Structure 1
Amino acid sequence: MNRTPVSSSNLRSVGYDSATNTLEIEFHGGRVYQYFNVPESVYNGLMNAASHGKYHHRRIKDKFPYERIR
């Protein structure tokens, strides 16, 4: 999945697959997680948030099923 770099102290890059509603986030340090069944509106909210890390913590983390892929 192609990811877009983001300016964040916690997140390095973010990608989204609208066909499968899969959100992929790379964190500083190299960990990559995929979050499943994420509406596109949540992805758009993350990309437009003033703080990507805070948005992730409040709206995504522990709200959607996920898997660490790296």
Structure 2
Amino acid sequence: MKRIHSGKLRAIGYDSRERILRVEFEDGSAIDYSGVGDYVWRTLSTTGSAWSYYRDNIEEEYAGRTGKAERKSNLDALNALFGSPPPPDKDA
């Protein structure tokens, strides 16, 4: 996922193999759009106004399925990078 701050958008991501675009909003909701081509993803992820591009070219053009944004805590992000810490030593 690529974090952005454009209008109500907070993150966008794309699975090129499945052709699914995920859009996450500031309110914690998310929509997965199916059948989205690489060109649309590249344009959305590089445009200066992702919110406008989303509204004009994606929102009404593609079928979407709603969900919740994946919010990871700082601890989750660290564990993803370095692995979970070992359990505490009970003999100590």
Provide TM-score, normalisation by structure 2. Answer: 0.71
List, as ranges, runs of 4+ consecutive aligned residues in structure 1 with deviation greater than 6 Å: none
Unpaired segments ≥5 residues, structure 1: none
Paired residues in the alignment total 68
Identity %, equivalent residues: 26
How far, CA to CA, are the matches of 2:28 and 2:54 in structure 1? 17
Provide TM-score, normalisation by structure 1. Answer: 0.92
Unpaired segments ≥5 residues, structure 2: 69-92
- CA shift digits 1:6-44 (9 cap, x unpaired): 121210000000010000000011011000000010000
Q: Using CA pairs under 8 Å that are at least 6 residues apart, name the structure with larger relative contact order, 1 or 2.
A: 1
> Please, what is the CA RMSD of the aligned residues?
0.7
